Amino acid sequence: MENSIIDLIIRIKNGYMSHRESVVSPHSKYKEDLLNKLKELKYIKDYSVAGEIIKEISVDLLYEDDISAVTGIEIISKPGRRNYQSYKNLKPVVNNFGCSILSTSKGILSNKEAKKAKIGGELLFNIW
């Protein structure tokens, strides 16, 4: 897999679309940081890491009254075309009902956190 973050996000999106309780993905530290941010923003319930040599991440999806926490995902940065944004150019997602996820020098941040810290970075995806 060339871009494992895109793979993880698509697995989460497909899990929500098929009303699954959880999805499984190969492990990486970068994915763990991304899942920490999604958990903090309440787009997933929790995640766990299993395995000794070959680790896997199990992501528990969040539903409230049988309605999924994620209704849409738009992937912005792709392997063939990276998208870097200054904090000045970050726009609200779906009238501030969603958020953008950025990879910055300070780690994974949402668009609101990046604007507050005045840090730009690679715009990974929008989620709402």
- 3-55 tens-digit pLDDT: 889 999 999 999 999 999 999 999 999 999 999 999 999 999 999 999 999 99
Per residue in 50-63, pLDDT tens? 999 999 999 999 99
Domain limits, the chain: 4-68, 73-127
Q: Check residue 66 and give left, alpha or beta (phi > 0: left; psi -120 to 50: alpha).
A: left
Asked if 19 and 25 touch (Cβ cutoff 8 Å), the reply is no
Fold of 73-127: Dna Ligase; domain 1 (3.30.1490)
Q: Are 4-68 and 73-127 in the same CATH fold?
A: no
CATH class given for the domain over 4-68: alpha beta
Give the global pTM: 0.92
pLDDT of res. 1: 41
